[in-house]
Structure 1
Amino acid sequence: MEEDEFFGEKTFQHFCAEFIKHSQQISDGWEWRTSKDCSEGYMCKTQFQMKPGTLVSHPGTSAHVQTCLPVEEALELPPDDFEVTETTAGSEVVKYEYHVLYSCSYQVPVLYFRASFLDGRPLALKDIWEGIHECYKSQLLQEPWDTITQQEHPVLGQPFFVLHPCKTNEFMTPVLENSRKINRSVNYITSWLSIVGPVVGLNLPLSYARTASQDE
């Protein structure tokens, strides 16, 4: 990693390759895709979740609670222990597509994503905001670096939501400076994605961080 916080596309691809290597080892679903029409590539992952706010009931409880379980875990629960009320489970399953691209303008990675129900109906921006945890919402409204907007995917040419990257360098600089102080190498993609991913429901297993330490 260069001494400053900026890095080029080749470095971006290198970090992505290392990230995907570990993803394949733990079957986390990340892969690298390229377009036939251009030389640009991007890292992507698809996952399924229950729509935020889905009401579920558990035996022995009188109140309904919101589920934050990944759909794979939720649907594996025995019928006696997990019952979706008001709507069927299928109508509340949401498919999320996360894409990590390189921004030539900002010289940083950018997180694009979109979400839709299994019947193809896309989630609107208001649905995305409703799904964001309260601990992030106040910061989202005050800090422009992670404001969610809708833009055209630079490779696919399709509408995606995006976390604006204008201040990525600002919050990544302390991470890089600290790693240099303790003489520890970091995977920029791992550190960056662990910060921005949880805002939109994307969480990294701790093994990514452990792998970076082992590689060192």
Structure 2
Amino acid sequence: MASININISSLDGTLSAAEFKIAACAFSELWEKFNSALPQWSWLPSSKRPGIPFNHVEGYLSMENVILPGFDQVQDYCREVNHYDFHIVYSASYRVPVLYFRAYQSDGQTLVLDEIEKDIPPNSGKLLRESKWTFITQEEHPQLNRPWYTLHPCGTSDWMKLLLTNEASVVQGGVTTEKYLVSWFSVVGQVFGLKIPFEMLDNIGTS
């Protein structure tokens, strides 16, 4: 799928629906290449539902049954092994990607925020305690119509604009859509200890 270049003059930290799909496909391909030991992202088509605008993205990225990197099966043998499903969904309102997730035990029992806090890195847990329900919220998954947790998208376009305008590629005239989603996940993934390999950033084409 061909890359789309985001021009500096219009760079406001957001993506169009078409740009998101291109970025999502490139992101999943790079993840598979450089994160082969982890579960893979896959593109899932949306169900056709009345009331969805014609230009709405008909799909989202999904990575499921993830055990967070901080869990040590030897050291933490007394702890329950928890699993996480992550979805990257385009928000037509904010025009940015949004990370939805759910956490559950091996028997399928859903985790509450206090239990999730024990799984995530200490700095994320501190932020969660200080700003509960503004940092992580629970709302209806826009594609599944079921309650999922989500990292609130408010402010995403602002920090993405700062992040992308500091990239060396901007000096050359623009930023590719592929770079957008990799850069975005390099920030939000840290909430769960999921890090982007440097090779993923190095292998993205620039303008």
Same fold (TM over 0.5): yes
Q: Distance in 2 between matches of 1:83 and 1:135?
A: 21
| Aligned amino acid, residue 46 of structure 2 | S
Aligned partners of 1:172 and 1:192 also within 8 Å: yes
Seen in structure 2, the aligned counterparts of structure 1 residues 162 and 181 have a Cα distance that, compared at 3 Å, is same
2:87 pairs with 1:103: no
Q: Which residue of 1 aligns with 2:139?
A: 151
* SS of aligned partner of 1:182: helix
In structure 2, stretches of 5+ residues that fail to align are: 1-5, 50-56
Aligned to 1:126: 114
Alignment of 1:167-178 (within 5 A): 167-178=155-166
- Point out where structure 1 has 5 or more consecutive residues left out of the alignment: 51-66, 76-81
SS of residue paired to 1:23: helix
Q: Give per-residue Cα distances to partners, 1:121-165, cap 9 Å, x unaligned.
A: 111111122333222344456679961011111001111110000
Provide the C-alpha distance between the structure 2 equivalents of 1:210 and 1:189, rounded to a whole number of angstroms: 14
Q: Specify whether residues 139 and 36 from structure 1 end up closer, same or farther in structure 2 by C-alpha distance, changes over 3 A only.
A: closer
Q: Give the equivalent residue in structure 2 for 1:211.
A: 203
> Whole-Å Cα distance in 2 between the matches of residues 45 and 140 of structure 1?
23
Aligned residues: 184
User: What's the Cα RMSD here?
Assistant: 2.7
Rg (Cα) greater in structure: 1
| Corresponding residue for residue 79 of structure 1 | none
1:93-119 Cα offsets, whole Å, 9 max, x none, are: 111111000001111110000011111
Q: Which residue number corresponds to residue 61 of structure 1?
A: none
1:31 corresponds, among 32, 42, 55, to 42
Are the equivalent residues in 1 in contact too, given 2:16–2:95 (CA < 8 A)? yes
Match of 2:64 in 1: 46
Aligned to 1:182: 171
Distance, in Å, in 1 between the alignment partners of 2:104 and 2:128 is 22
Which string of whole-angstrom CA distances, capped at 9 and with x for unpartnered residues, describes residues 21-74 of structure 1? 222334350110012324621011124326xxxxxxxxxxxxxxxx924xxxx5
Paired residue secondary structure (1:185): strand
Quote the Cα distance in structure 1 between the aligned partners of 2:42 and 2:33. 12
Which TM-score applies when normalising by structure 2? Answer: 0.77
1:15 to 23, 42, 47: 23
One-letter identity of the residue aligned with 1:46:
E
Residues 16/46 of structure 1: CA separation in 2 closer, same or farther (3 Å cut): same
SS in 1 for 2:102: strand
| Percent identity over paired residues | 32
